[in-house]
Amino acid sequence: MGFNFISLLLFLPLLSVAILSGLEQALASDNTFLVNTNHRNSTADGGMSSLRGKKQRSGCNLFQGRWVFDASYPFYDSSSCPFIDGEFDCLKFGRPDKQFLKYSWQPESCTIPRFDGAAFLRRWRGKRVMFVGDSLSLNMWESFGCMIHASVPKAKTTFVKRTPLSTITFQEYGVTLHLYRTPYIVDISKEKVGRVLNLGAIEGGADAWKNMDVLVFNSWHWWTHKGQSQGWDYIRVGSSLVRDMNRLDAFYKGLTTWGRWVDQNVDTTRTKVFFQGISPTHYEGREWNEPRKSCNGQMQPLDGSNYPSGQPPSAGVVSKVLSSMKNRVFLLDITTLSQLRKDAHPSTYGGDGGNDCSHWCLPGLPDTWNQLLYAALSM
């Protein structure tokens, strides 16, 4: 699946590239975290040997594990969070089972620190976090806001929801969570022929992404859409204009443009950059050996640590692009752990009468994504 180096997210007491080498000895006696020293310039061959295989300094891959029942979950009550969209509020729209709320992610040989929203606000006082991407970014952004809000329920907040930029601000701490909606990350422009997806341009919202303290990017969900749900009429590839092309190839070209933008415009010594990873769907039961099923009616995660059909090809595209970048970008490698959660989608409880096996209930799975993000930012 291309290079996997970014998927081994760096978890250090201080998440700092400058001190990685100095901490290796101390980390050797600590089996809590997996450490990745895969910087592109870390070896004589330009770092390429370090990109091959897993660099485990403490013996734990936080993304390899299983789901376990945990009575202390969820982190919050959907009815008390002011930020949740109806499409994610499964209990509000009548989901009768609540067991899907009671699972925590357990890595094979370590534990994830429990989320502490108050501690996050204190540590990141005056900082700005931005989620950039599609409705899966919306899912994660709302989850993060709810998790923090549950820790400081009396804190004054400002909530502004607009297109493309929305914000949640915890006023007393000066912490703002931004959401910038851009399904493809690269630009869609209006031309004489119609809507054009420009795989080589990333100017539409890029200025809004600059000078953030944390950036969490995500894309893929909309690249597969066809027909009326397709967001463009033509694709621009260099000087060529085409009606369609292989969607994985298009995704690779678009994500390469994004990677180049990050390398040229983001100072990663002050801005932590993450890629959210590929969020899976569960429309095809054959993927988990139930060919006549979808996410509808699913009430339990899959057992074990591996998804029967393996990771989607789009995850390989992400790994390939990230491994070619000069700047350090951390992958929240949430694909496999999310594939195991066939029970965590809104299905028919999203309020629109359809069967949603793409997004996730809140509270729910995105809370775990944010717990991993929190660990990366606070440990």
DSSP 8-state symbol, 220? -
**Angle at Cα 30 formed by Cα 28 and Cα 35, nearest 5°?**
65
What pTM did the predictor assign? 0.85
**DSSP labels, 164-179:** SEEEEEETTTTEEEEE
Any catalytic annotation for residue 116? no
Q: Which long-range contacts (CB under 8 A, 24 or more apart) does 292-299 make?
A: 294/347, 294/355, 294/357, 295/342, 295/343, 295/345, 295/347, 295/355, 295/357, 296/347, 296/348, 296/355, 296/357, 297/347, 298/342, 298/343, 298/345, 298/347, 299/97, 299/99, 299/100, 299/343
pLDDT number for residue 109: 80
Helix (H, G, I), strand (E, B) or coil at 143: helix
Please report, in tens digits, the pLDDT of each residue of the chain (379 residues total). Answer: 444 434 434 433 333 333 333 333 332 223 223 323 233 333 333 332 222 223 233 457 889 999 999 999 999 999 999 999 999 999 999 999 999 999 999 988 888 888 999 999 999 999 999 999 999 999 999 999 999 999 999 999 999 999 999 999 999 999 999 999 999 999 999 999 999 999 999 988 899 999 999 999 999 999 999 999 999 999 999 999 999 999 999 999 999 999 999 999 999 999 999 999 999 999 999 999 999 999 999 999 999 999 999 999 999 999 999 999 999 999 999 999 999 999 999 999 998 889 999 999 999 999 999 999 998 886 5
Q: Whose structure tokens read 């429990």?
A: 114
Q: Which of 149, 282, 345, 359 is catalytic?
A: 359
Any catalytic annotation for residue 345? no
Q: Which of 319, 356, 367, 378 is catalytic?
A: 356
pLDDT number for residue 44: 30
Q: Which of 50, 58, 104, 135 is catalytic?
A: 135
pLDDT number for residue 265: 96
pLDDT number for residue 6: 40
Question: What is the layout of strands, in order, in the sheet containing 234-237?
Answer: 187-191, 194-198, 234-237, 240-242
Give percent above pLDDT 70 in the chain.
84
**Proportion of the chain in helix, strand, coil states, percent, rounded to 5:** 30, 15, 55
Q: Taking each helix axis from N to C terminus, what angle separates 313-323 and 247-265, rounded to the nearest 10 degrees?
A: 30
Any catalytic annotation for residue 219? no
Helix (H, G, I), strand (E, B) or coil at 188: strand
Give the C-alpha separation, 148 to 117, whole Å: 4
